[in-house]
Chain A
Amino acid sequence: MKMKKVISLGLAAAMTVSLLTACGQTTEESSTSSDGNVQIEYWHTMSGVNGEAMEAVVNTFNETVGAENGITVKSVYQGDDVSEKLKTLAQANDTKNFPNVAQIVGAGVPSALDYEQLIKVEDMYEKGENITVAKEDLDEHSVRAFSYQDELICMPFNVSSILLYYNKDMFEEVGLDPENPPQTIAEMAEACEKLLVKDGDTVTRYGLNVAVRRYQLANWIGGQGEYNFFGNNEGGRAGMMTEVTFGEDGSLDKFLTEWQKVVDTGAYKEVEDNINEEFSMGLFGMAIMSSARIGTIDSLVGDKFEWATAPLPKVDAADTGGTAVGGSCLAMFDKGDEAQVDASWIFTQYLASPEAQIAFDTATGYLPVNTKVYDEADMQTYMEENPNYTVAVDQMRNSNVNVQEPFDIINWELDEIIKNNMAEFGAGNQDKDTTCTNIVEQCNEKLAEYARANG
């Protein structure tokens, strides 16, 4: 009896202890693995087909460049909230559990700047050791996208461009020229009108589907004129963005005036439910989406109909700005081990090298961040075989480098403000002027709140 009690107490104690230690476990792994290689950890956000391509690139690195330099990279899929996880680590100052390299979205760059563990890519270039990818070879649009105060913070890796997707068969059916997609929002409105099919009062086929959110608006604001900033301090790239400037410079009003034409057709679906599937089911003739979806649309549509991509329709036919670079970059972190930093640097550059870029981009449809890629025969054939992809490449390369998504830090909050107001405007529940004032005032209020707590 007594024995039993002792044993059960002992077991309970052991379990409690193991629980506690499991919580507090720190990764005490040494930086070298059993084969003498330097081991580094890489966090990424890619799943599905993209995830497979990511793993393949990391494996190739481990077998080639990594093996030559004595580096083993352990890649970890972390879901799409890598930025949130890094922030938690930074707040707890838990350097040990930081990854060596992490893939983060562009909007996460300004927050990452605050982490003392971050190593700026610019500093690595300045140090000048082990350089395998020259900074000059990197695409200037991508460089600007991930730079703050003219310093490259994170290495560009997978980028995309916003495009107009349109159903060529449907264009032909209603008498639109499938080889001449709309170039401006006004032309898009005209196309919408023709594509509309109604059964009594209910719309059975829309002309266009897109929910205008921060991402879309940043492109339409940014592309106006030669280029146009979203907020002050060059949209947050020269200093903290504390207010939006699209109100006072009239660019939001200009966009909304054009957008009104689309809304007025009654052929505009202002909420996105399942835009990929619905486009491939022919529920609307046009959609505006990132070029990263070309592969998905391709497999969904199959042989059902002919479709193509076109550059994003402009606000004004005279605009020359182009579009912003969307996508992710690689952040490097210092965990206090020199050998790991060197290894991370070699790995980070490898991911931006022509070799890795071709392998990854042709498998996923992301756009190259290294201009040397275009000299390679593999990429040239890929672009010839995939004209939809080439549209995105050309659009990015012809854009002004200053056209970028803002570094607004509270991107989620601004996204919600823009999304809600644009949905009300798109549904005809809110007029143009109210929408314009609301977006400007609400964005500025939130930005001021952030600046007050963090300025």
Chain B
Amino acid sequence: MEKQASFTGRGRVKKKKRLSKRIEPFLYLAPALIFFVGFTYYPFAKTVFSSFFLVNSMGEIREFVGLENFISVLTNPAFLQSIKNTLIYVVMSSPIAIFIALLLAMIANRKTKLSPVYEMLYAITMAVSMSVAAMIFQLMYNPTIGILNYIFNTHFNWLNDKKIAMIALSLIAVWLNIGYNFLFLLSAVRGISSDLLESADIDGANFFQRTFKIIVPIISPTVFYLICNSLAKNMMMSGLVLILTQGAPQGSTETMISFMYKQSVNNLNYNDGYAAAIIAFIITSIAMAFSFSFEKKGVHYN
């Protein structure tokens, strides 16, 4: 009897422990999960649902319209142009920011007494908020009183010429992202064991061989992470547009998300807004899938 009682008693303790152990990870997850569900998954589900309905300016559902909202935005030249603009923006800003950051990381690779100084100088753009950067560049880009035209003695109308306005925005993004990319790449480059590089030197590898045969493959997981990160970030860009150009001139700087924002917030047109949001999501997913296919080919984890 006694034995049995103690056995069941111990069993309960064990069970209790197991239960609390089982719950523990969920407790850690809970804060993040609550916010994800409340601010990401629920709105996402609601957006998908609402996109099949006609919605009025107060966000109230009027009637089921099937795919009509999607057809409407996909036949809207302004939205099609915004897709094109977004892709151009991503192609211009993502690789360049990573490439420049990689160059800087290689330069800053060797540790010296002064390295904390230039490490900080290269990384500092990370600490600049996007809206502040936008205001600074707005002054620099000013066609008549801006410093860029003054220094280079050019007459570019940076933000008001449809041929170069998107390039001007990409430049800001490149500048902003260098710091973040630099930090990751620097630690990756510094993480390469010196034995490996020394033996390469002994084997007579030149600078390019050393860079492209050894360093780049070894840091490829970091580069891959940065590509995914900047793809997602740049695909969703709207801040620079809304602060600097509002999509002008002639819609040449409109991005998918700035289009979505303007349609829903300024024009009270949630029909276009919902559909645009989902199409932007799908296009970004495709871009992500594309970069994951690169992972299989180009990323070395050992």
Contacts and interface: CB of A to CB of B under 8 A. Distances in A.
B192 to A, nearest CB: 37
Interface string B265-280: 1111101000000000
A8 B59 CA distance: 42
Interface stretch (A27-35, A52-60, A252-260, A417-425): A417-425
Given A114-B57, A423-B250, A277 B144 contact: yes
Interface size class of A (residues with CB under 8 A): 20 to 34
Contacts of B142: 273-274
Interface string A438-455: 000000001001101110
Contacts of B269: 410, 413, 449-450, 453
A419 B145 contact: no
Interface in B53-85: 54-59, 62, 72
B57 A453 contact: yes
B125 interface: no
A18 interface: no
Nearest to B63: A453
Contact of A274 (B55, B145, B251, B268): B145
B65 to A, nearest CB: 10
A273 B157 contact: yes
A118 interface: no
Contacts of A423: 249-250
Contacts of A12: 31
Q: Which of the listed residues A274, A283, A409, A453 has the most CB atoms from chain B within 10 Å of its own CB?
A: A453
A420 B144 contact: no
Contact of A420 (B57, B59, B250): B250
Contacts of B268: 87, 111, 409-410, 450
Contacts of A359: none
A409 B267 CA distance: 8
Interface residues of B, number: 28
Contacts of B54: 452-453
Contacts of A410: 267-269
Interface in B235-270: 247-251, 262, 265-269
Contact of A453 (B143, B265, B266, B271): B271
A16 B31 contact: yes
B160 interface: yes
- Chain B interface, DSSP helix/strand/loop, else mixed: loop
Interface string A246-278: 000000000000000000000000010110011
Interface string A279-297: 0010100000000000000
B238 to A, nearest CB: 15
Nearest to B158: A273
Nearest to A93: B58
A271 B268 CA distance: 27
Nearest to B157: A273
B144 A454 contact: no
Contacts of A91: 58-59
A305 interface: no
A423 B247 CA distance: 14
Contacts of B57: 111, 114, 409, 450, 453-454
Contacts of B143: 273
Given A271-B249, A454-B56, A281 B157 contact: no
Contacts of A202: 155
Given A114-B57, A273-B157, A453-B54, A420 B251 contact: yes
Contact of A413 (B155, B248, B267): B267
A453 B62 contact: yes
A416 B72 CA distance: 18
A23 B250 CA distance: 39
Nearest to B265: A84
A413 B157 CA distance: 24
Contact of A273 (B55, B160, B266): B160
B135 to A, nearest CB: 14
B56 A453 contact: yes
Contacts of A84: 265-266
Nearest to A90: B58
A413 B266 contact: yes
Given A16-B31, A91-B59, A114-B58, A424 B250 contact: yes
A416 B249 contact: no
A278 B160 CA distance: 15
A412 interface: yes
B248 A419 contact: yes
Given A114-B57, A114-B58, A453-B56, A412 B145 contact: no
B144 to A, nearest CB: 6
Interface string A388-412: 0000000000000000000001101
A453 B266 CA distance: 16
Contacts of A452: 54
Nearest to B54: A453
Interface of B: 31, 54-59, 62, 72, 142-145, 155, 157, 160, 247-251, 262, 265-269, 271
17 contacts: A16-B31, A87-B268, A91-B59, A273-B143, A273-B160, A277-B145, A283-B144, A410-B268, A412-B267, A413-B266, A449-B72, A450-B57, A450-B269, A452-B54, A453-B56, A453-B271, A454-B57
10 smallest CB-CB distances across A and B, nearest first, come from: A412-B266, A413-B267, A454-B56, A271-B160, A410-B267, A453-B56, A91-B59, A273-B143, A420-B250, A454-B57
